[in-house]
Structure 1
Amino acid sequence: MKIVIVTDAWKPQVNGVVRTLTQTRDELMQMGHEVDLLNPLEFRTLPCPTYPEIRLSLFARRKVNNRLKAAKLDALHIATEGPLGMAARAYALRNKIPFTTAYHTRFPEYVQARTRLPLSLTYRFLRWFHGPSSAVMVPTEVVRRDLLDNGFAAQQVVLWSRGVDLNIFKPGPALSHQEKPPVFLCVGRVAVEKNIEAFLKLDLPGTKWVAGDGPLLADLKLRYPKVRFTGVMDQETLASLYNAADVFVFPSRTDTFGLVLLEALACGCPVAAYPVTGPIDVLGDAPAGVMDEDLRLACLKALDIPRQIARSHAEKFSWRASTETFLAHLHPLKSSSAFATEAA
């Protein structure tokens, strides 16, 4: 099957959406499908206000139209609500092409954290954008209920869980360091919605590490000089970082899933987190981590968790299972001939 995936989030961004789409594409191709990933690298872009690492595609409509017209695809998936997603959505509606969409991040909460825009306005936009979709794929049951509570149709919102590459993220060599143990590690975008400062403020023994980049990085480096900020790392180096850490701390309250949770667990690093969406869905009632509104207490309790317990829990997740779910939710065309004409 020829599948076109349209996304406004793509490399060189380093985040869960890009990782999910990369792994899904690779798994689909290994399963024998052809995947065309339409992304911002094909367009002129400008930095997103307050989020310069995210590039917004300019004048996307004509090129998106031409790409989709020429694709002769069997299924269309629109992964994001940005300029490329908007252009693909408009094309599909004009030509009566069925498509699926995904809700990767808690977009209304992110927007509110940055602009104080009321949640109701952003959810209204999301209902409009995803309304014509055959299926809105979400990573967890908690996120599904979140959308249902905000006016989405129950039959439209479907689960699409995530996975972890157990061949990269596994117990192995630890990054060499001379830091005072124990080591508490946080990995993610250094941005307001990730709530990283809640981790940095904790009175903990040992050492704190933060891996990632983002708009708050320079400010936090100045304010927390004793914290080791490593920047962005490739997957193999990141795995060695997880292996060197004693506890993985996840302070975010807004993530829909949190792939880094699975990466840490796969390396045998137990998790400390708030009992919110993401950690609840990844950990459940497993003894691989500790969830508590007192994040400091969760960090200290997690020190007692054996690393094999963390690894065993991560082994329940795979990208192949995730991709098979994605494939089942697609809405294939009866015939790709619908793309032979363009209703410009």
Structure 2
Amino acid sequence: MTVAGSTTRPPGGGPAWDTVGPSRPGQSVLVTLAVVLGVPGLVLTAMRVLPPADDAAALVAAFIPFAVPLLGLSLLCLLVALVRAHRRAALAVLLGVVVLLLGAQLAWQLPYVVPDDRRVVGATFGLLTLNTYRGLADPAQVLAAAQDADVVVLVEVTPALVASLDAAGWRDRFPHDVGATGGEVSNTLVFSRHPLTGSRRLGSGSFDQWSTTVDVPQVGPVALLAVHPCNPYCGSGRWADEHAGLRRAVEAGLDGPLVVAGDFNAVVDHGPMQELHRLGLRSAADLVGAGWAPTYPANRTVPPLIAIDHVLVDPALAVADLARVPVDGTDHLGLLARVGRSS
């Protein structure tokens, strides 16, 4: 007979089958840490699926790739907690959610570390893009960075920087330009060893942007968009508006070959960059399998955290190589890509 309120014990005096043992030391800490890490991972993953257009959320979305380590650490905490747990159903459900989120992130990020099967056929040309940070980039280092380039896109340029480059013999290598001669110096410039034709300013954004065509020997005419849409800090929806203008310019040039290069103020996971991807553009980092290649902020106590500078190409072109280029005085790393016709 069992007295009300008592618990039936098995023979031998051991604990009853339904006895819940005391919580193991550190168990609550593991679960709490898993949730603290997992919630931002969930938010960043949701931003990849439902890209934000407002300025504040777009700033947060720049860190979407960081969901991978956040969710990975959350998964580790949950695995340890699950092994130690007396009751595991709730933890197993939470673990399953984190596994799904991490799987989605890995599906988006891992292709960037695998070289594409698109190969360059024939001759190539070098293209350097660099944000000079209000013209404060070291002119001698800019000149050195451009030694292997045939086309250079410089943004946030000042007349003083152009004068310093000219004094160092810049025009001996790059006799053709858009925005540097014939009047006021533009804050976005294109320099080239080869003739530039059909050059025109793109819209009226916060920074100058240009469309031109480079006549590259053994490659042929290549349309080039030199771009610098405003960042989300600009406010008033200008980030989304100027990216919409960039998309329209790309759509108008899809008869290719087409290169779009500059400081996009957006990572590949941002909505506007996904739209360009759906139009057929691929980043040089993606094509060569460079993986996560952050370019900003540079020359700080911390290494670059986000990749907002890009070289994008359409299906008519491929990329043989991509390198990040450090230059003193600027808060961006440059990108030097070797581009040619695709197979």
Q: Same fold by TM-score, threshold 0.5 exceeded?
A: no
Structure whose alpha-carbon radius of gyration is higher: 2
Instruction: Give the TM-score of the pair, scaled to structure 1.
Output: 0.30
Higher helix share: 1
Question: Comparing both structures, which one devotes a greater share of its residues to strand?
Answer: 2
Q: TM-score, normalised by structure 2?
A: 0.30
